[in-house]
Every structure is written in C-alpha cells, then in structure tokens.
Structure 1
Amino acid sequence: MNQKEKILKIRDLDISFKTDNGNVKAVRGVDLDLHRGETIAIVGESGSGKSVTTKAVMGILAGNGQINNGTIEFHYADLSPERIQEVIEKYNGVIPEGYTRPEEQKVVDITKQSKKFIQSEIRGRRIAMVFQDPMTSLDPTMTIGKQVMEAMRFHYNTPKKEAWKRAVKLLELVGITDAEKRMKNYPHQLSGGMRQRVVIAIALSCDPEILICDEPTTALDVTIQAKILELIQDIQKKKNLSVIYITHDLGVVAKVADFVNVMYAGRIIESGSVNDIFYDPKHPYTWGLLASLPDVDTSGDELYTIPGTPPNMIQDIQGDAFAPRNPYALHIDEKIAPPMFQITPTHRVASWLAAPNAPKVDMPADLKEKIEKNKKEAKLV
C-alpha cells in the first residue's frame, strides 16, 4: 500500500477544560495529518496542548474536558475474523502489509463516537499509547504476562494458551531476555528500562496501526533512552506502524521524526519536515527552542532561554499568543492571530513575519551559525 496513504486527519480541533477558575482553552484549532508508516513529532513547552491533542485521539480526555469543535478522522482496514482467515489462506499464511479491499476501508470521526465504540474498536486495538512513566501504566498487583495478554483477551477473545505464546514473543520482540520467566514477574521486579519495554509490548499486543509515544524516555537514563528509541524505530519498520511522538526534547525529535509540528498555546505554529524545522526554521518560537539546545561549541557562559512565560489559557488571547515573548513581534500581532503561511510544499508557519509584505527579519546570528555547523556535520552543505 502507498506509503503516503493518510491514516489520521485532524481538522480545526478545539478542546477546553472546565475548572473552578474558568474554562482552560487547551487546544485552539489544531490541524494535523499522519500517513501510514510515517513518524511525526509534536513539540513544545509543557501546557502547549501536545498531550491533550493525542488524548483526544485515544478518547481518554479527563472528565472535565470537552471537544468544542473539529474532527479526528481515522482511516483503517476493518477485516472480520472470517475475512482475515480467507486472506491468510489466499496468501499462504502471510497477510500483505496494509492489505485491504476498498469496501473494507473504514473512516470514522473519533469525536463523534461513543465511549463504548472507542474502547472496543479503537483504543488499544487500532491506536495504542506508550506513556512516559511505566510505573503508572502497569498494575503493580498483576504479573507482566497477564498484563501483556489482557488486551488480546479483551479485544479478540484470544484463547489463554495462544495469548501466552504471543505475549512471550512480544516480550522477545521488545528485547526482554528470558521472556518466559519474566512473564511471571511483577513490575517492581524489573528495571525502569525493562518496564518501559513491557509497556511497549502491551501497546503492540493487538497489532495497532498507530502508536502514540508520550515522552516515552523521560524517566530513563541516556543509554537506555537511545535503546528504547531504536527499539520503537525497529518495530515500526517491521510492522509499518505510524508513530506520533510527543516530546519537549528536540534531540529525540532529530533522531526519530519525519515531520515536526511545533505547538504553542494550543496551536501548531510551525510544521515541516525534520530538515525544514532544524535547518530552516521560520517562527521566532522555533528559533528560541533551537537556540536553547546545549552545544559543546556554544560560546558564552549562559544557555539561551526564551524570555517570559506562556499565556494564561483561561484568558482570551488577542492576536498572536507568542507576541509578548517575541522580540520580532509586529503591530498586527497584538490584534490578529496569524494564519498558516505556506513556505514550501512541506513547510508551513503561523507568523506574520512570513507574510509577503512583512519586513525581512533573519534568525539570530548565533542560531544561524549553529545551524550551519550542524548542516556541515550532517553533510548537507
């Protein structure tokens, strides 16, 4: 199947949360596309709306959360058990990657579905999530084996013996040695890195089409972090998974992403290929994020930080939310929020600086120097 087949399409998503202090406008008109086999990253400061957007995709918003507007279209193949058997026999036991017939292709708007439908048909079965802290994802009172088997038993009524064998294979797939023995362990008997591998095995247990990774390596040390990222990439290639990374770590993004979406105050303010964002960023906020990355050759005693703080999302935001922190802000930024300007076929930015009649503003000289050095190291120049 075509690599560019769209699997997820989010349009004009608007989400708020009711609190004692007022409505928090967490997501304000997000557009996002994900294609089969592709990796996208959503980056930004805490509170920018990254996790809320993907929790809406999973149907796990908090009780006080409300989707006010927008659509989340999920495109998937709906094969019945009988059809799966028919296809297996036709292709000698191996279903071709992404196999489907036109009449078996379904498109659902997740925002319009019942909780029961999302729980039985979508969450865990077709879209799975890996959270940042494995100890909050795993039940301390259940063995590892039971937890890996649970989704298979719930979604597909897999017989216990078959589920056990599949769970052992999944633990081996995620790099856990002596998997049979580990099936009988409890979460506290495993290291942090092994627990995260178990969480990934659980997420993969029903062969999902989309894997959402919410800061999957935050609690791990650097060497384990690298191994977990390599593991996810390896499994993605084997299974043609579509992956969404949510992170504030641009180092992780550079290693894993095909496309990057930069979020600020509930909006995507810049999106593009990983090369667009890292080597030709257009938004002053993205400049700030890249400038604040540590660098062994950085001159000066202090690391750059973006001045000011993110806006209070309870209050109405007039104009561009980033304007109070933006040294390059124009007068129009105080009154009207910028639309998305198309820079190239893959690169878009929500900044009035990208308007055809805007004054010419270059990125800071220090950042330009850093980017040129990174380009040379990556052999792009």
Structure 2
Amino acid sequence: MEKEKVLSIKDLSISFQTSAGEVNAIRGVNLDLYKGETIAIVGESGSGKSVTVKAIMGILSGNGRINSGTIDFMYHRGEEEVHEDLLKLSKKEMCHRIKGKRIAMVFQDPMTSLNPTMTIGNQIMEGMRYHFKTPKQEAHEKAIKLLELVGITEPQKRMKNYPHQLSGGMRQRVVIAIALACDPEILICDEPTTALDVTIQAKILELIKEIQEKTNISVIYITHDLGVVAKVADYVGVMYAGKIVEKGLINEIFYDPKHPYTWGLLSAMPDLDTNDELLYTIPGSPPNLLNKIEGDAFAERNQYALNIDHRVEPPLFKVTDTHYAATWLLHENAPDIQMPMELKNRIYRMLGEVE
C-alpha cells in the first residue's frame, strides 16, 4: 500500500537580515513527511532545524525572508483532497486554517508557551472554541479527556489550576494536550524534553509515541539528542549549516551512516561501554552563515575532507532507495574511507543490544 504524503518541503531557502549582514540560515532543504510517520531533524545548535519548522508554522521572525521553495501541505476537507503551499498563505489565513487546527507545535519551554493568567482548562478549550465554535460544555469534556490522555491525574481539579501551580513535566503535558485539542494532522515537537529531567523526558517521549499510535498523526521532531531520536523516529534528516547532509531510515542512519558529520554526531554520544577516557567532540565550530560557503560546509571540520570538498558542494548521493548523503566520499572515484573503528565497534555493540 502506498504511503500517503502529508507534507513536502522543496528547495526551501531562508535568510535573515541582521545588523551584521544577511545570514543564509536555510540553503535548500528538501524533506517529505508521510501519514503516521515520525521524522527527526537532528544537528548542532544553529544548523537550521528550528527555522525550518517555524517556516512550516508561518512564525518566522520579522527579519526572515523566504528566498525560494515551497512547503506543500496535503489534507482532506470532507471528500476533497486539498494541496496548499503554506508559504503563500497570509498570516491571517495561517491562523484561521492551519496553525493549531491542522498543524500544531510543542515548544521547548512550556512556561513560555502557556499564558500565566489563564487556567489550564481555558487554555486547552481556547483552540476548540476558536476553530470549531465548540459549545463550552463539550469543549470542557474534551479538555478533561485530553488531560487524561496525556497522563495527568485528577484532570477535573487541574482544569482550574494556573501554570505556576504545576511541575515542569506536567506543564509540558498540558502543552501537548493543547496541541492535540483540534486533532491536527501534523504535530511538530521542537526539543520538547530539553527543559525536563531524564525520567520525565522518557515519559513524555513514550506519551507522544502512544498518542501517535492512537491517532495516526504525523510527527516532526527537532532535537540534537540522538538518544531521543533512537526512541521515536522512523526517518532521520541530519542537518548541518542550513542543509540536510544525510537522510534515511532510523536503522540506516544509526547502523550504516555515510556522512562524516553523522559519524561525528554518533561518536559524540555518551556510551557506557567505550574504552576512551574522553568523550569525542567534532573539532572546530560550524561556519558563519553570513559568509558565502564555497564547497562543502563541513570541509573545514572534516578530517576525511577531499580536495574537491573545499571547492565544490557535494550533491546528495543515493545509498539506497531511502538513504541519501551529501558527501564526495560516496563518489565512485573517491578513495575508500571507512567510518572510524571506535564508531564501528560501538555500532556492533548497539546491534548486539538490539538483537
């Protein structure tokens, strides 16, 4: 059975006007999302992960400019299949038709997402009342069900609470309940567990996974934590300097990575069984996107860089039907360079644990 595509990003390019000049934050991103699937976008801070999803939501800051590209969103209105380029919609149309209703977002810090002057109940009901004119009693009952769904005990009592009366983990659950209030087709999670401790983090990830199984919603995860990715994703896009440099199914990225940047990210994950005294770090820092990038953006930090990397940007080479990587190492004339031995051993250990 062919999978149903719900979102397609093509050649997205975004820049920001700053006092120092123009920052080319997104330099041609292509990504597809299918129904019921979870995509994780990973990469260091500043690689363009959050800017990409803010473009989907229509919430780029005022100095942001879309230079090119389309974000095609497909959904059903009754029997009719609708295709809409989200970049062409006005702010008003995004508010009325898309934001919160068909595409919802869970942000990093629940305290900045919640209104401190409104009760939890009213904040969950607000979207239903605005988008669907749901009667108050019906919205109230659905809000209680949503609080139960996200694992909050005594939901009746919590409806009357204010955000400051809840713990961080509970607030994040409330934010998820608000995001799900209008039964959206897509849920975007922008590092939803960063501000939480590890045990709560695991529960929130489990929760989003359970909700996805029940509702068949599509999820986009933004994170720099590969441990999170391993738990939630079906498909992974690795981002560096405003481009996706490797994308593939979760097993392809974790067990058969091809891009030296992905090797670096996987090597930098803490591992209990490693013999190394020090944790691996990728040398150097990401390029300044104020400057025009010649060749491969990762070349300066890449110990396996070839001469061509400093001159010509690599295309995405096909590894399998689902796996692509933008590195000249995959070119037929490139020298045979394998991933570092320590990473290879780590992957063997990970495979052993899985089996």
TM-score of the pair, normalised by structure 1 = 0.92
Residue of structure 2 in register with 1:205 after alignment: 181
Residue of structure 2 in register with 1:280 after alignment: 256
1:241 paired with 2:240, answer: no
1:317 paired with 2:293, answer: yes
Deviation, 1:116, is 1.1
Q: Comparing 189-198 with 157-166, which one deviates more in the overlay?
A: 157-166
Residue of structure 2 in register with 1:41 after alignment: 40
Q: Aligned ranges for residues 247-286 of structure 1 at < 5 Å?
A: 247-286=223-262
Deviations 1:229-260 (A, max 9, x none): 01000000100000000000000000100000
Q: Tell me the distance in 1 between the aligned counterparts of 2:75 and 2:166.
A: 35
Q: Aligned ranges for residues 184-223 of structure 1 at < 5 Å?
A: 184-223=160-199
Q: Aligned ranges for residues 131-150 of structure 1 at < 5 Å?
A: 131-150=107-126
Q: Tell me the distance in 2 between the aligned counterparts of 1:10 and 1:273.
A: 18
1:24 paired with 2:4, answer: no
Q: Tell me the distance in 1 between the aligned counterparts of 2:25 and 2:77.
A: 33
Deviation, 1:3, is 6.6
Residue of structure 1 in register with 2:8 after alignment: 9
Q: Tell me the distance in 1 between the aligned counterparts of 2:256 and 2:104.
A: 33
Q: Aligned ranges for residues 68-87 of structure 1 at < 5 Å?
A: 68-79=67-78
CA RMSD of aligned residues (A): 0.8
Question: 3-state DSSP class of the match of 1:286?
Answer: helix
Asked whether the 8 Å contact 1:27–1:49 carries over to 2, the reply is yes
Alignment counterpart, residue 329 of structure 1, candidates 284, 291, 305: 305
Deviation, 1:270, is 0.2
Structure 2 unaligned blocks of 5 or more:
none
1:62 paired with 2:38, answer: no
Q: Tell me the distance in 2 between the aligned counterparts of 1:180 and 1:116.
A: 34
Residue of structure 2 in register with 1:98 after alignment: none
Asked whether the 8 Å contact 1:40–1:245 carries over to 2, the reply is yes
Question: 3-state DSSP class of the match of 2:334?
Answer: coil
Question: 3-state DSSP class of the match of 2:41?
Answer: strand
Residue of structure 2 in register with 1:372 after alignment: 348
Asked whether the 8 Å contact 1:211–1:243 carries over to 2, the reply is yes
Residue of structure 2 in register with 1:178 after alignment: 154
1:125 paired with 2:101, answer: yes
Q: Tell me the distance in 2 between the aligned counterparts of 1:268 and 1:153.
A: 38
Q: Comparing 370-379 with 208-217, which one deviates more in the overlay?
A: 370-379
Deviation, 1:300, is 2.3
Q: Tell me the distance in 1 between the aligned counterparts of 2:181 and 2:301.
A: 44
Asked whether the 8 Å contact 1:265–1:313 carries over to 2, the reply is yes
Q: Tell me the distance in 1 between the aligned counterparts of 2:132 and 2:273.
A: 54
Deviation, 1:78, is 1.2
Q: Tell me the distance in 2 between the aligned counterparts of 1:121 and 1:11.
A: 22
Matched residue count? 355
Residue of structure 2 in register with 1:363 after alignment: 339
TM-score of the pair, normalised by structure 2 = 0.99
Asked whether the 8 Å contact 1:211–1:241 carries over to 2, the reply is yes
Question: 3-state DSSP class of the match of 1:262?
Answer: strand
Deviation, 1:105, is 0.6
- Percent identity for Structure 1 against Structure 2: 68
Q: Tell me the distance in 2 between the aligned counterparts of 1:3 and 1:153.
A: 36
Q: Tell me the distance in 2 between the aligned counterparts of 1:300 and 1:333.
A: 30
- One-letter amino acid of the counterpart of residue 58, structure 1: M
Structure 1 unaligned blocks of 5 or more:
80-100
Alignment counterpart, residue 90 of structure 2, candidates 99, 109, 114: 114
Question: 3-state DSSP class of the match of 1:317?
Answer: coil
Residue of structure 2 in register with 1:90 after alignment: none
Deviation, 1:112, is 1.0
Alignment counterpart, residue 304 of structure 1, candidates 280, 305, 308: 280
Asked whether the 8 Å contact 1:126–1:207 carries over to 2, the reply is yes
Deviation, 1:132, is 1.0
Asked whether the 8 Å contact 1:3–1:36 carries over to 2, the reply is no
Q: Tell me the distance in 1 between the aligned counterparts of 2:188 and 2:33.
A: 11
Deviation, 1:376, is 1.2
- One-letter amino acid of the counterpart of residue 43, structure 2: G
The 1:307–1:242 alpha-carbon spacing in structure 2 relative to 1, beyond 3 Å, is: same
